[in-house]
Structure 1
Amino acid sequence: MAGVGKLLKQAQKMQKQMQAIQDELAERVFEVSSGGGAVEIQITGQGEFKGLKIDPEFLKEDAEFVEETLLGAIQEAAQKAKDESEEAMSALTGGMGGFPGLM
């Protein structure tokens, strides 16, 4: 049964490392710019939006264009956060997808 104990310790160690990575991702803020800098979004590595800046001149554009640009910027920011999170977790798990039930 020594193998099971060793496996459990490894799983606990990995869980602590995952928590540390998640804490770090919560603190990291990424900036995404769209529309030639007309829209800037700040998002954490865990996908929490922290800021939104819109150039006032950009708001004078056609409403549909503004909406499309904003949506594109939001989607890009969300994808950036997801990619950073997956990359950090993949580095920890060695690309094996983690352990079911621990993530």
Structure 2
Amino acid sequence: MEEKEVIKNFIEATVRNGEALSQGNSSLANIEFDKIKIIYNELKNNNKLDLLSSLLNYSNNNVRLKVATYLLPIKTEEAKQVLSELCTKTGIIKIFAKATLKEWERGNLKL
């Protein structure tokens, strides 16, 4: 799969995952998360996680949250800055961002 297509698929799955979570549709959220995880693993295994860097400032906060989380090991300061900003939002984004930062700082987040 071409890099542009991988990024497009990542964005689409992440947006759908976030929408499903906010609607309480755990079945769809899980389906989309599985797609995200496959893409993440493909990028990680090919040392191409850095391709996600351009999405740190993406317009959708679900995308920013997922990207910042996945980039913590390689772009720690930039990822933490995005997560800190997302902690000022409302709802599930805020909850996930705070939990991610907390677990990262404790050394419990293995990516």
TM above 0.5, yes or no, is no
Q: Which protein is bigger by CA-based radius of gyration?
A: 1
State TM-score, norm by structure 2.
Answer: 0.28
State TM-score, norm by structure 1.
Answer: 0.30
* Bigger proportion of residues as helix: 2
* Bigger proportion of residues as strand: 1
